């Protein structure tokens, strides 16, 4: 009925095609997406709706279970507020709407039975820049009808310790490098000791930060190199850019570090103005944290089957 700011269909992303210049895309906050799917009985990687800042207005064409996870955009069914991080049933003809943004940025609407859109390069994710995937390669608009295989599964909820807290101050862990020689000792010290703010220019491609200038040892440019999710580019301005879900596949700016995978979901929910500090950890620690996170999700998934 209304599209919201930029409501798109997203799953866990599109992998194996970067050599062809295709971004992974996928949910900015993969944790909220997977938890929503867990609550409604879907496979963890099933597609859901991602809605930033201003949510859509949707009418149910069938009784179906949904779960709303991530940012709190004050969800309501027929004008009555409903909880996040819990499976609920929306009945045929009822209307899901959103109001005030209370915390976080992006809300995820998982629908029991999933969303029936074509797989494009092994994913249902919308690649906005490439104009393919998801629903006709674009954000939703008024009049769109999404089909699935709806069913109801109610009253599943998460324990409090599994629900993230979104704050206006973040410490994100990073693996320093790979272009440390492109920065002075003072520049590296600035990066790891100073505070930066997320600007309003941030989007699905990346978070632009502002703060103390990070000093290069020479030029900021490199020969174009492959870019990972969470890579932190530092152009000549000395202001870092954290590359997010729809980042380009290669880039010619030196990278001072990479945000570890388990901290990306919190960054995805950070509002403009959020203060960010960086903390160095080892590659081994980052891998251990990721393995632990995946194992917890798999254990929860097995318990609910």
**271: CATH:** 2.40.100.10
Q: Are residues 129 and 36 in the same domain?
A: yes
The reply to whether 301 falls in a domain is no
Measure Cα distances from 262 to 23, 100, 230, 265 in Å: 20, 28, 10, 7
- pLDDT for 157: 87
The reply to whether 52 falls in a domain is yes
Q: 196, 240 in Cβ contact below 8 A?
A: yes
**Nearest 10 degrees: Cα torsion 110, 112, 117, 120:** 70
Q: Are residues 139 and 274 in the same domain?
A: no
- pLDDT for 11: 98
Q: What is the pLDDT of residues 171-208, one digit of tens each?
A: 999 999 999 999 999 999 999 999 999 999 999 999 99
Quote the number of domains for the chain.
2
Tokens 């309003």 correspond to what residue?
200
- The Cα–Cα gap between 96 and 79 comes to 8
Helical residues (DSSP H) of the chain, grouped into ranges? 30-40, 185-193, 264-268, 283-304
Which domain range does residue 226 map to? 169-293
Tokens 């941030």 correspond to what residue?
202
Q: 30, 62 in Cβ contact below 8 A?
A: no
Q: Are residues 132 and 104 in the same domain?
A: yes
- The Cα–Cα gap between 267 and 105 comes to 10
Q: What is the pTM of this model?
A: 0.96
- pLDDT for 302: 83
pLDDT < 50: residue spans in the chain: none
Q: 30, 12 in Cβ contact below 8 A?
A: yes
- pLDDT for 154: 67
């Amino acid at each position: 009925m209304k599209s919201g700011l930029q409501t798109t269909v997203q799953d866990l992303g599109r992998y194996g095609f970067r050599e062809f210049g295709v971004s992974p895309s996928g949910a900015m906050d993969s944790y909220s997406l997977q938890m929503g799917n867990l609550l409604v009985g879907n496979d963890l990687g099933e597609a859901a709706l991602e809605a930033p800042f201003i949510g859509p207005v949707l009418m149910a064409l069938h009784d179906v279970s949904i779960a709303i996870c991530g940012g709190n955009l004050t969800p309501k069914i027929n004008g009555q507020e409903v909880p996040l991080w819990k499976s609920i049933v929306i009945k045929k003809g009822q209307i899901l709407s959103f109001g005030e943004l209370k915390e976080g940025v992006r809300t995820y609407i998982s629908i029991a039975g999933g969303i029936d859109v074509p797989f494009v390069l092994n994913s249902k994710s919308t690649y906005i820049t490439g104009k393919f995937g998801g629903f006709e390669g674009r954000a939703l608009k008024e009049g769109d009808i999404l089909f699935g295989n709806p069913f109801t599964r109610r009253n599943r909820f998460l324990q409090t310790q599994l629900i993230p807290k979104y704050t206006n101050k973040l410490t994100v862990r990073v693996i320093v490098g790979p272009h440390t020689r492109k920065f002075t000792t003072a520049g590296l010290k600035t990066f790891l000791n100073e505070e930066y703010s997320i600007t309003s220019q941030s989007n699905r491609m990346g978070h632009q930060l502002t703060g103390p200038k990070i000093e290069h040892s020479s030029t900021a440019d490199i020969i174009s190199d492959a870019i990972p999710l969470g890579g932190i580019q530092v152009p000549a301005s000395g202001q870092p850019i954290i590359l997010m879900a729809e980042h380009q596949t290669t880039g010619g700016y030196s990278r001072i570090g990479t945000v570890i995978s388990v901290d990306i979901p919190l960054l995805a929910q950070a509002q403009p103005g959020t203060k960010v500090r960086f903390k160095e950890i080892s590659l081994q620690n980052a891998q251990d944290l990721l393995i632990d996170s995946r194992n917890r999700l798999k254990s929860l998934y097995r318990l609910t089957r």
